[in-house]
Amino acid sequence: MGVKNLWDVLESCKKTLPLHYLQNKRVCVDLSCWMVPLQNVNKSQCPVTSKQYLMGLFHRIRALIALNCSLIFVTDGSIPAIKLATYRRWLNLGIEVENQATQDGANSQKLSSLRRNMGSEFSCMIKEAKYLGSAFGIPCLDGIEEAEAQCALLNLESLCDGCFSSDSDIFLFGARTVYRDICLGEGGHVVCYEMNDIEQKIGFGRSSLISLALLLGSDYSQGVRGLGLESACQIVKSVGDNHILRKIVSEGLTFARKKKNPKRQGQVKCNNTETTLSSEVNMNGDIQIPQTDNQYSHVVEAYMNPKCHSADSEVVHRSLVQRPFQREQLQQICARFFEWPPEKTDEYLLPKIAERDLRRFAHLRSTSSQLDVNIPLKEVPVKCPVSAIIKRRTVRGRECFEVTWEEFYGVKSSVVSADLVESACPEKIKEFDDRRALEKKNQRKSRPKKSGKECSVAEIDWKLQDLLLDIELGSKSSSMASREIISDKMTTATEINFMNRDPLVILDSEGNADSRAATLCRETGVTVTKHEVIDLSSPSPLVHSRNVSRCAQMNNQHISIIDLSDSETEKSPEHFCR
């Protein structure tokens, strides 16, 4: 429980941090605060015999181990004497217990703590959790009384970086950093409260929080009935953190009457002649018995000096020693509680153990670099867990590497973040890049000349050449076709002229015009006068108009002119037939 409504007071100081914030940290865990919500999930969703609460603890430990977050389980010891009244109310034992609680509150300094029932269902769950933690190599510290008090002492003495607890009174015991909740999976995070933020944002120190416990109620006191949260905070702030406890111990809670309106329902009422609180005050006992100043001091003392193992004790030193995980023992536990084969347990666990050692290796190199000691990878006394990098990967938008591990981890490969590999062994990344560049170079050398991209270029070149050849052949064929058309026209024209008794003389390159004309005449039966023989080697004579008249005098016959070419027509008009 802790202090009533204290988490509401501290709401403005709550921070939600990514899970990797716990990387390379040592954290104490109030084990009962972890097991209670896991137990509730187990009861609501699973049969009684199911061990889902233990599986939830397994995955939580596994995730934190991969971050190289060193855990210390802390369990509750005996119930403090000053807490007996509250503890009996939780058990709901009846009116006689309330009467006994009044006596316990008045004489708590004379009572001894109560030993817990170690045979209860919850105590058996705690034993199983400790057994699982020992297989992971997690040490366990059994507290003398309150587990949160022991966690707070270790945090106050800087023996750990923070505490996991949902009990708000851990701040009253002196804790500086508290993780109230944890969420795994994608977007995993922790809910964190820092005492520095509480002091700066709210103005409450440890003494102010203890005074709030006296006013609002806690495990050690029932508080003032009818006193609201806002009023209690105003009262504490008006006195100040440096003086509030001294004022409570010397005067009790009588100073609160000056800060309150007695007409409001549920407010504290005071006698006119006395300076003690009336029957409306309810502190560690029956509501009709006012709290004495001596009893306030006992509550303050219980928070300021709880019964815990001292920071220099041998028990604490043993709990700070790192232990190796027990692989075979863990396989047996998972086979017993979860019915997993050894291979499944290794699949879940071994990659996380390898990643944890890689983070430790990165932390070692980072620390040495901060001390200006830059040691080459091969000369580091601790062997790098990564054997080689296989390839680059992208997981949920993050750059990663698939790496192979050293043989003693028992796992071949897994995927880790690129940032982790970069901080631990940048030399491995350089080796990977060099190897990839060499492989690409060898692939280019081993390729045939007509393979790949080069082959496609050659094919395109051949196709272009074929296309040009087709175009050239097409142009030749078209010229031949045009010549055939001209010859057809010539034949047609000749036939028409012969039918009209117009002889046609076709000159060939050898100048045998007469023979051809005679032949045509014999075939057609047409008489033609003998033509002149023209010497083609002689210069071309000038063209006279008489040539046209001579042609016209040839028995009034029609003359067909063949246009051999433009150039020939211009240069030698003698090629015309007369």
Cβ contact 353:359 at 8 Å: no
pLDDT at residue 353 in the model: 94
Which ranges in 371-512 belong to alpha helices (H)?
Answer: 418-424, 426-446, 452-499
C-alpha distances out from residue 176 to 22, 214, 394, Å: 15, 21, 38
DSSP three-state, residue 178: strand
C-alpha span between 577 and 517 (Å, rounded): 11
Region at 195 (left for phi over 0; alpha for psi -120 to 50; beta for the rest) = alpha
Structure tokens at 104: 């316990």
DSSP three-state, residue 73: strand
Contacts of 497 (CB under 8 A, 6+ apart): 503, 504, 558, 560
Length of the chain, in residues: 578
**Pairing state of beta strands 398-405 and 386-395?**
antiparallel
Residue with tokens 């193992």: 309
C-alpha distances out from residue 9 to 6, 204, 232, Å: 5, 10, 11
**Pairing state of beta strands 189-194 and 140-142?**
unpaired
**Torsion sign, CA atoms 493, 498, 500, 505:** positive
Cβ contact 162:179 at 8 Å: yes
Q: Which contiguous run of DSSP H or E holds residue 62?
A: helix 52-66
Q: What angle do the packed helices 342-370 and 52-66 form, to 10 degrees?
A: 30
Contacts of 169 (CB under 8 A, 6+ apart): 1, 2, 3, 6, 148, 213, 218, 219, 303
Q: How many of the other CB atoms lie within 10 Å of CB of 269? A: 15
Cβ contact 533:514 at 8 Å: yes
HSE-up of residue 139 (Cα within 13 Å, Cβ side) = 16
C-alpha span between 70 and 22 (Å, rounded): 9
C-alpha span between 60 and 457 (Å, rounded): 59
Can you name the residues that pair with 163 across neighbouring β-strands?
28, 178
Contacts of 23 (CB under 8 A, 6+ apart): 67, 68, 69, 359
- Write out the chain's pLDDT in tens, 578 residues: 689 999 999 999 999 999 999 999 999 999 999 999 888 876 666 555 578 899 999 999 999 999 999 999 999 999 888 888 776 776 665 434 334 444 444 454 455 677 777 778 889 999 999 999 999 999 999 999 999 999 999 999 999 999 999 999 999 999 999 999 999 988 899 999 999 999 999 999 999 999 999 999 998 888 888 888 898 999 999 888 888 888 888 887 776 655 554 444 333 333 332 323 333 333 333 333 344 556 788 899 999 999 999 999 999 999 998 888 899 999 999 999 999 999 999 999 999 999 999 999 999 999 998 888 888 888 898 999 999 999 999 998 899 999 999 987 888 899 999 999 999 999 999 999 999 999 888 877 766 655 444 456 667 777 787 787 778 776 655 555 555 554 554 444 444 444 444 444 344 444 444 444 444 444 445 444 444 454 545 555 554 444 444 444 444 444 444 444 444 444 444 444 44
Cβ contact 400:417 at 8 Å: yes
- Return the DSSP state at 467: H
Which ranges in 327-399 belong to alpha helices (H)?
Answer: 327-337, 342-370
Q: Give the burial class of 544: count Cβ atoms within 10 A of its Cβ; 0-12 exposed, 13-18 middle, 19 or more buried.
A: exposed
Cβ contact 503:521 at 8 Å: yes
